[in-house]
Structure formats: C-alpha cells, structure tokens
Structure 1
C-alpha cells in the first residue's frame, strides 16, 4: 500500500466526549499490521487516554493533524472545525434527518468534504460492524440499578463516570445486597440489550422465562429479556413475522400492557422505529395496576417508545421524575408515586477507556481491512455503503437527504 496517514482528532463537541477511536496500543497494532500506515494523534486535554500514553508507545502527538489523509473522531465535528477537502470518519447523526445536525451536513457539502459514517458501516447482511452499543447497555443497566437503589433508599452506588473502568465499577456490584424480590424487564436482543444482560448476570441476578415472569412470584430479584414478539403483535391477528415487523412496523400494536402490572424496573434497550408502537402510553401510567416505578431508557428516544422520556438527562444529573397524575417532569426522587427515569443519551462516555478499547478492536478487525484498501483506490462495498458525501456531493444512496440540506 502507498503511505497513508490517519489523524485522530481532538473531540470538539460540547459537552466534551472523552472517547477515542483507537487507544495507544491499537495504534501500534494498526501500524505494525499495515506497513506504510502512520497514525498521528492531535493533542487533547480531555481524551481518556492522555497524550503521553501515546507518546510512550512511539505514536506521534502534535497540535495539528490537518495534513493527514483521513481524519477520524467519535462524535460530530463542530462546523467551525471542519477542514475543507478532507475525508472524515465519525458519527454524524444525519441519516435520519436529525434537525440538530442539518447545518453540519450542509457544511460538509459546502466544504467539499468526504464523510464516512461509522453507523453506516455494515456487512453483507446489513448488520453494523462497529458500535458502542454494548457499553451503552452495560452502563445503562448499572445506572438503572443505581437509580432504583437511590429511589428506595436501599443503597448508594458510585456513578459509573466516577469509576476508573469496568473493573472498578464491578466492585460496586457487591453493594447491591438489599435488593427486594423485584422484577426487571430488559427489552431487545441486540448489542445494547446484551450489554445490559451482561451486567445483570455479573451481579448474580437470576434470569427467568417470559412465562414465569408474567405468572409466577419469586423470593428473589429476577429479570427477563424480551424480544419484539413478546410485546408486539400484528393488528390483523396474523402470525408473528420478525422481518415483516422490521419492514412494516406500522402494522403492529403493543402488547406490553401485560408486563405493566408485574414490572418494577424497566431497562429499555430495543431499537425503536418511529412508525412502531410505543410500549405504553402516558394514560397507562395512571392505571391502578401500573407497577413500574423506575425506568432506565438506554435507547433514549425522546417522546419515543417510552412516553415518560420527555428529555435526555445528563451524566452529572442522570435522573428525573415523571409525575403520573400531571404528566409533568419533577426533580429526581421527589415523590414516591412518581416514575423515576434515567435517560442519559451518551452512556458509553461514562466508561470511556473500556468503550474505546472495544471500539478500536472492532475498527481493526472489521473496518481497517476495507479502509486501508481504499487508500489504493479500491473502495469495496463496506466503505461505499457508509459514504454519505464524497467531495461535497451526496452519494446516490443518500440522495434522500437532499431536501434535508436544502437551504
């Protein structure tokens, strides 16, 4: 391969994100795997891996990386920091026409930038090959138990963001000894949900079948993991068909009502399409048999699948209360009859070193073989599918964004 330089940019979004695409050791591995590849790190005072940790392993760290062939970050790049004519990789959050990032994509086009979005890197089956989802689930489940403990005065856990890493967070698990025989429901089966289940298992909590969860009582805390078919059905009564549900979610209705009288803590990890049914409605929270009092909305779709998620919360202030009688939000833990909601929308940032290590592994295994090949002009489908804009023009796959960026 011809010489190729990749620059790891300093994250510029506010609030700051401490994650990085490649850790120091992953940079060394990448350079040793691909002769001709050099990785240059832009100086950063906020990154979870310090500049000196890169320098100690022989990786170049300097104030400016504008001369690199590819610029790689994590979150959206502020528009005033975009460098004309460059190739970028980051999560742009534009393909769903998110209003907050309309100007970002406009400036990408105006400045003749080539934008590759991590979210769009997929295999032949359409499955994403790089994601932080597992860590969203891990931190989300932990935060859910932390929130439940605080709400009921059972125990106090150190927030995940104050833990050095996953191992430090696990030490906090041992404090969860006073958990009553509550029932917890985890929605979803993807990366996010598996991360949540990983935490519950490490905490020694027992998993039960959906049937037992619904119809049996237990003398210990238990959880169940729900697939889409466990809480949705076709409106016309036809048999469940998962591909059909993903293709025509508007043809389905929620059956989550049967879980409302038996669930104490809901950990929502399932992907939700705006055309799909909500799990429940605000009116349901006023039902006499509505039992849920704590919700960890890991997916954090505001006004989405969980109607009590009225806004995203923040890492320093992760929870708020929903008053079921008024429908208004109140300070966290302000009333025993309120539902306490944890809806942090950047959960992996709470364990940035672990999340960065995992993400870097995925990049090296699943993306770099295709990305480095692109340096020789041989773009394969994996990279092509993820290019939203090339040299300032929307690619054919993403022409539907034309009206989104129209002035």
Structure 2
C-alpha cells in the first residue's frame, strides 16, 4: 500500500502544510495510507486529520518512518548531514546551483533516497501543477511596502509575523501607509503575467500603489532596464533560470535612481542565475530588509518563505492544486512523479 507521511515543518516561522484534512480523506478513500505528524505550529489543527481517519505520529519522527513511506513536507530538512534513505516530496532548492542544495543531494546519494521536488512537479507542457506563487507575491509586495514605509521614517524595516487572514494584513499595512501622510510609491513588477506577479500586483493595487507590469515581452532585449530604476519599488517575480537577464546590476547601487526598495520574491541569492545580484543572502522575518546602499538608499527584501505569513489561505490554495497529483502517488514511474524523478536523476551526484 502506498504510504504518505506528512511531516511537521521544522523551520522557524513555517506553519503551512501541503495537505488539508479534506485532501487526506480523499487519499484515504483512494487506498493511500496517510500518516500525519503532530505539530506545535501547523496552521490547520490536527483534529481535522484525526477525524479524516489519518494515522497520527509524534512530531519530527519521520526519520524512523517505514522505509517505503513517502515523506511529504514543504520546506527544507534540518541541515544535519544525515543520509536520506526515504523518498521525499518537498521544496529542495537543489537544482539551480544553490550551494546548500549540493549538500542535500549528497545526503540523498548517501542514503539512496529520492527527491521529488515540488518546484519541478510539472504537467506534459512543463507547467507547474501547484505553486504558492500567488501568496508569495502578495506577501512579498506587502513586506516590500513595509520596507519602503520604514525608509520614510528613516528606519530599517522591523520584524514581520503571521497574519490570521489576508484582511488582517491589508488593515495593518493600510494603517502603516496612511500614517506616513505621503503619496503612495510607484512599483514595477516583472513577471506580472505569472501567479507570483499577479499576487504582487494585486497587493499593490489594493494599497493604492501605481503598478507598471512587465513580463517576458518587455524583458526580451536582455537589458539594461533603466525603467526599473525610475520606480520606487521593484518586485522581481521571475523564476531564475539560464538566460534570465540581470534586472538590477551591481553598478546600480551607486547610480542616480528613484528605486529604493527591491522585493526579490523569487529569492535565489546564491543561484548562478540570480537576476538581482546586488545582495548575497536571504533576509528573515526578524530582519526583513537588507541595506545594500546608503547613497542613494536601497534596501532588499528577500524572505524565502513569504506565503507563511498567510498560512491558512496559502495552505488551502496550494493543497487544492496539488491534490490531483497526490492521488496518483500509486504510480511514481509516470506522470508528474516520473518527470520529477527524472529531474532528480539528472542532478543527482554520480
């Protein structure tokens, strides 16, 4: 019997989950065994999974799960170097040249396990079957606006946290912007036709921010792109890959520009293809903005688990998208799972 083991997230500020109780009930009805770990932080209560008929395991006991179990989580595993013998479904961040990803692949090599990277679950056309993109863009735009607002107060953006709902976020951010008594900033979104860019633009427009929306057609020339520097905010919503142009080069740090806040929602600072190479590390919930230039001022927001700010809505949305693929876990050799394994094998160390 196919056995899906939903692990507790171990990363700080991570309350999301990729399977709802309703989805678990559907998997059980399809003959897939579902084990859900207890979690002290998960946004969706455990009781729903109990009521659905799932087996319940203690928090963070997935290393001792049966070897044939498929371990399902969202964010990265603890970086303890231990071999990984199981099959894992998660965001591994291992296939785009990331340095931490190379270590993860070595752990799979040592243990003989397999990574089905959620970022590379694609249909026959190459389109991702599920993504948190909309909520990443939405929350990323919000924190970038908070970064800009802090600049107006001659401050660096302070800590951010979880919101119980989208409406709570909008109320909080609107009050912060209104208190400034200045005109709203202008923003450019690149990747505006995708889910990430749509979320970013929606948040900006909800806050009364004028948005310039660019996508592949506007960036096909390869740059440079002085138009970006003529906006107050730049929101990068482009999936980094070979051939992605550089949107804000390092020389822009010292150039005369209007741009003062970058929201790198894609957040791949250690990727070889980073289109915003003006910073070298992700930012955090405790310190959301990294100052990369003082004159003219420029801060970068690059939190890499942005949808976690809205864990209930983002979990429900993502789980609904992913469920159709989870229902096919009984055949890992074809479809989305076969393609994901082929991608893993392409990058797996010899």
Answer yes or no: is the 8 Å Cα contact 1:256–1:279 preserved in 2: yes
Q: 1:296 aligned to 2:263?
A: yes
Question: TM-score scaled to structure 1, two decimals?
Answer: 0.74
Partner in structure 2 of residue 69 of structure 1: 69
Deviation at 1:56, TM superposition (A): 4.6
SS in 2 for 1:107: helix
Distance in 2 between residues matched to 1:202 and 1:60, nearest whole Å: 42
Q: Spell out the pairing of 1:3-402 with structure 2 (5 A cutoff).
A: 3-12=1-10, 14-15=11-12, 17-32=14-29, 34=30, 36-63=31-58, 64=61, 66-67=65-66, 69-78=69-78, 85-153=85-153, 161-175=161-175, 176-177=177-178, 178-188=181-191, 189-203=193-207, 205=208, 221-233=209-221, 253-260=222-229, 262-273=230-241, 275-288=243-256, 290-302=257-269, 304-325=274-295, 337-365=296-324, 367-374=325-332, 379-387=333-341, 395=345, 398=346, 401=347
- CA spacing shift, 1:6–1:369, aligned 2, 3 Å: closer
Distance in 2 between residues matched to 1:24 and 1:15, nearest whole Å: 23
Asked which structure has the greater CA Rg, the reply is 1
Deviation at 1:306, TM superposition (A): 2.0
Which structure 1 segments of 5+ residues have no match? 206-220, 234-252, 326-336
Distance in 2 between residues matched to 1:88 and 1:182, nearest whole Å: 43
Deviation at 1:80, TM superposition (A): 5.4
Which structure 2 segments of 5+ residues have no match? none
- CA spacing shift, 1:119–1:276, aligned 2, 3 Å: closer
Answer yes or no: is the 8 Å Cα contact 2:83–2:108 preserved in 1: no
Distance in 2 between residues matched to 1:371 and 1:318, nearest whole Å: 37
Q: CA RMSD in A?
A: 3.0
Could you give the per-residue CA deviations for residues 380-407 of structure 1, whole angstroms, max 9, x where no partner exists?
2321110158xxxx63xx1xx35xx35x
Which stretch of structure 1 is more off in the superposition, 161-170 or 78-87? 78-87
Answer yes or no: is the 8 Å Cα contact 1:143–1:159 preserved in 2: no
Question: TM-score scaled to structure 2, two decimals?
Answer: 0.85
Answer yes or no: is the 8 Å Cα contact 2:93–2:101 preserved in 1: yes
Answer yes or no: is the 8 Å Cα contact 1:370–1:380 preserved in 2: no
